Structure 1
Amino acid sequence: MKKFSLLGGALGGALALTLGLTACGGSAPAPEGSAPAGSTSVNTSAPLYDELPQAIKDKGELVFAADSHPPYRTVGADGSTITGLDPELQAALSEVLGVPTRSTLAEGLPQMLTGMQSGRYDAFNGPVKATPERLKEFDGVSWLTSRTSYLIPAEGGLAATDTAGLCGTTTAGVKGSITEEQTANLSTWCQEQGQSAVTFLGLADTNATLLAVGSGRAQSAATTQTGAMDIQTQQDGKWRYVAQTEEQGAGVDQLVLLTPKASGMGEVMLKAFEEIFDSGAYQQLVQKWGLEEVAVERPVLNPSVG
């Protein structure tokens, strides 16, 4: 493997990812072309370029599916600029792999998964949980962990001091995400305690879940621990959160970056993550975004999951 050292350019350059969007009759933005994160041209001297599948070399880029999910991706007020952890991670991976990355908006996890299977997207960085079913179709590199947490308005919201206080209420979450499964587990636990179930309101993205709480359609917003930490920090004083426990079926989820098995990108992506771990770029990202609590020691390809 070629020797390479990630310098500040991977993290300092292209922190904003600008998407070219088209609207159609008031529907969700169509996932059209977008500006790349990191390098804007192919670098055949990058350490892992020679190991890329020929189809990726021919295309000259990696296309990521994307949605609004802070702190991974935050879509700006203009509806086109994306900032957050993902653009910076993609910039670091781009320098190692030698091809630019580009993100396109998609609505909901099912659309992203089918889009990868059809070849429209090359990767998706979630947050998405590694499950046996997903790992049959996709290769997943685990690089963060998470517990499901529930955001509650700091003023005028539920008086719940823990997730037991959510029994009998409605929580809004991203449809098809980790939180939907985890909320179902919490709901089962509530019923086992003789209390009412938790109703899950599935929506398109994190912004929609927070709006649902603000409008009274839901009493809490289910999100990953990383998301709850970021939103609480960014909107200081507006939110507090409670975390689901193992007794309530939460556990620690392995969050993975997915690529289709048919693409042959799994092993290459693992090596790319190993490069940014060894260079210290991963640790810089974790520290910058305050994610030390959910960091992992090393990336793992297709982690064993129950």
Structure 2
Amino acid sequence: MRLSRTMLAGAAAVTLASASACGGGAGEPQRPAGATALYDALPDAVKEAGVIRFAGDSHPPYRIVADDGKTVTGIDKELQDALGKVLGVRTEISIVNGLPAALSGMLASRYDAFNGPVKDTAEREKQFDAIVWMVTRTSYLIPKAGSAAVKSSADLCGKRVAGTAGSIVEDQAKRLTDWCVKQGKPEIDFIGLADTNGTILAAKSGRADAAGMTESAAIDVLGKEKDAFTYVTQTDEQGAGVDQLAMLVPKSSGLGPVMLDAFKEIFKNGEYKKIMDKYGLQKVAVEEPALNTAGAQ
């Protein structure tokens, strides 16, 4: 049977109405059922992709990478899942080879964010929004089987210290070296490597006398290898202080302010405290997240 023009027009109208109800006109991202105001505030590029793409290097206990090189567990994965839930989009982690690869990848739009944890600095804030969600001090793992007699951070002067290249640890090691020189002691020989696992292996193999990392990472290693290491923590006198650690998001993406609101939500709903308590990070937790603290100082 042949349909009249009137019937065809009516069918087209029904189809158009159904499409509008499912997510808007052609080319517009479909709004998920139950989407929140945070989802509505996301940049269109994220809505269209339906996922926030994180870069991440191997950095236990933040990112624990399985033998397949893809499966990731740890603090970062749980934090990203919590943020994705309140934002209404999926999250995924791509493993990269260290901080420089994460930063360049974000600037090239391959990734949307990097959760480090990385130090918030005024220089980085020129290109990235930094959402501060924890603080830290730098510690140094000392192999018990090693020949270096390191009983305190002062004993690291003149020693070989492995750390992630371009990380907060490298900056802290420079401050410790400055302190050593002022004390009339030899400089630290810093060995920059791609990730935390590499620094641990360097210390185990004798290539380095110590492995520098965040205190939370050092505690995690000690929990897994109780008989292999001890650790010392850098002091305020040696230039340590308390560093603000942040998630970085390219300013050009417009995602930073929305991500700050997502952090505020997981602080409010208890997910942040739950994750920090689970990994024993109560001492480095903050009362509330903050945006671009370095530039404001």
Q: TM-score, normalised by structure 1?
A: 0.84
SS at match of 1:101: strand
Cα offset, 1:254, TM superposition: 0.4
Residue matched to 2:224: 234
Give the counterpart letter for 1:140 in structure 2: A
1:140-289 residue pairs with structure 2 within 5 A? 140-289=130-279
Cα offset, 1:157, TM superposition: 4.9
State whether structure 2 residue 82 is matched by structure 1 residue 92.
yes
The answer to whether the 8 A contact 1:70-1:206 is kept is yes
Cα offset, 1:80, TM superposition: 2.7
1:63 maps to which of 53, 78, 86? 53
Residue matched to 1:15: none
The answer to whether the 8 A contact 2:51-2:89 is kept is yes
The unaligned stretches of length 5 or more in structure 1 are 1-40
The answer to whether the 8 A contact 1:47-1:98 is kept is no
Give the counterpart letter for 1:182 in structure 2: Q
Which structure's CA Rg is the greater one? Answer: 2
The answer to whether the 8 A contact 2:83-2:263 is kept is yes
The answer to whether the 8 A contact 2:69-2:95 is kept is no
Give the counterpart letter for 2:228 in structure 1: K
Give the counterpart letter for 2:65 in structure 1: V
Give CA-to-partner distance per residue, 1:139-162, whole Å, 9 cap, x none.
Answer: 011111011110001344532221
- Between the aligned partners of 1:230 and 1:281, the Cα distance in structure 2 is 21
Cα offset, 1:239, TM superposition: 1.6
Give the counterpart letter for 2:269 in structure 1: S
- Between the aligned partners of 1:157 and 1:72, the Cα distance in structure 2 is 30
Give the counterpart letter for 1:283 in structure 2: K
Give the counterpart letter for 1:300 in structure 2: A
Cα offset, 1:42, TM superposition: 5.4
- Between the aligned partners of 2:82 and 2:203, the Cα distance in structure 1 is 35
Q: How many residues align?
A: 266
1:3-18 residue pairs with structure 2 within 5 A? none
- Measured on the aligned residues, the alpha-carbon RMSD in Å equals 1.5
State whether structure 2 residue 290 is matched by structure 1 residue 290.
no
2:114 maps to which of 116, 119, 124? 124
- Between the aligned partners of 2:89 and 2:59, the Cα distance in structure 1 is 24
Higher share of residues assigned helix: 2
Cα offset, 1:250, TM superposition: 1.0
